[in-house]
Structure 1
Amino acid sequence: MLRPTSSYTIFMQQVGRGLRLCEGKTKLRILDFVGNYKGAELRCNFLTGETRKGGKQLLPTDEQFILPENCTSNFDFQLIDNLTEKRNLTEKKFLRNILIEEYKKIKEDLGKVPSLLDVYTYSEEKIYTYIKEFGSWDNFLLEAGDLEEYKKLYKISSQDFLKYLEQTRMTKLYKLALFLSLFKGKVKQRVTAKEIGLSFKEFYSDKNNALELTNKKHEGYKNWEAIKFFDIIAEDYPIKHTTGEVEGAKFFKYDKKNKIYSLDNSLYAEIKEDEKLHKDILERIELKRRGYLNKKFNIKL
């Protein structure tokens, strides 16, 4: 095989020349020397007869790569690696196009640029697919051509903080109640144990949020004073897991002696002067809350 082609018909005509019957002929060996060209990724599909438009690109290592009886094939390991890389890139590009088209559909339906929560609510694709695929929600907006100018002015620390909020891991909602002690209402740089406790008490007055308070240590939480929320929940888990040597520690500090939880100075200064950044932070906190309640309790907000 010396002629490049991405046409299944032409490919089979080429192979067919060697398949012509002849007395004494029992085998045919095909040597393909033009594997490294556009359309080479279709070879495995062609050999198996799998030619559906939009079908998954097959690899020689796939279980679905099944040749007709008495036929075998040998692929150089380097070629298999190249085909694997090409398939990964193709699938990635395909997924990205799907997400952008879905976003455009929502934009057209709403008649405005969709917010993060709009896409969470209306998209058929999970919002975290957008975030994972593009690295962040703002990266997606940039790719889609809808990143607002003011967001392009955010400092690196603020961009990193928004990504942290989008991607932070949670087994409970505790982190969100802690973050809201800093960001709900007027942004604060430092909060006391009592202020944190009050934030938790208010947060868990919501019946949906309170569904997770099922451990024995949560008994009677409705009658707790604010400081008890701090002592039993806040200091034990969310503060410990957002300060020190853990993920996100560069954004928060904790003075254990005085029980003061604080936000990084430069980050606080930027958020304080930028209402839109503050709004973006609150939107991501709410996104995490809705996503958790949906996944954990099948509650759609």
Structure 2
Amino acid sequence: MSMKSTVQRAVTSEIKLRQLKNHISKDNLRWLKYKWLPEYLYNIEEECHDFETIEQAVLESYKRQQLLKKQLSKCDQQGRKCLKRFKQQASDLLFILQYCSPEAPCNSHSCPICARESRRKLSNMLIGFGRQSGGGFKAMTVIYYNEIIRSQEFFEMVAEDVVRIKDKLRKQLSRSGYDDVVFGGFEVCYDRELKIWIPHFHLFTLVSDKRSERKLRYMLNTKRNSFFVDRKHVPLKIEEVFDFPCWATYTMKSDFFPKGLKGRISPPKLYILGLIKRHEYGLKLMQFGFKVGRNYSVLKRGVADRLSIENE
């Protein structure tokens, strides 16, 4: 997305926000006056122009609340089976989003305001680590075709399933010979044509030699899926990282999007179920780390050192 289109999108959001201020909850609106803590050493909006503004996040929260209200109303009127199973969870999520404020943040991964704040924290840590390391990062996209979930089965996917997939990737990285930090996020995208959910990871690594890449690619290629007989099968994609700040914020999204699009999953009830699952899993579960325990002090050092310099 170009700088011009990003600015236009931000201006449009601010205009809509002014028009809807009487309808948006007062708790949500208090975020517009919230002063960010000094721990944020990098201005993410300047580093990455695609990063959403606080106005856009508040507006998105309002849209999700309206969508939840509409679907809950339809559920009451028509007794829809799909959403009825999660009616209580949807009602709870609506309540949480409505009363999210700077004084009492909901910290839900389905709240665009709190998710934005969490991404700012993580992105600052990653950018500090990236600049301290001198660059040379590689981006990895890992897709588990053998873990594809049918639309109706996605509702049964629990946190233990995400933990199992993450553990599987850690074992494969270890067996492939990766010996440096690998960090990123877990996502699930929805394929409208095949009506399936595709689990995948967006990761970064500082060291990625060809031998380890070949081993990992071989492990991921061992099991194919019947859904993708006539489609290109790319379980592992590795590329150089040139715009590290933007890539860091993208990796930390851990979102539920339709495949190939940055829009809402259709029909709306599936999108709401995706929000419920994001809230259920939480941001911590959607993060992935390999060899991070050994290198965590290094990840934090870039931020800590700069803070001590500023305090002096």
TM-score relative to the length of structure 2: 0.24
Larger radius of gyration: 1
Structure with larger RCO (C-alpha < 8 A, sep 6+): 2
TM-score relative to the length of structure 1: 0.24
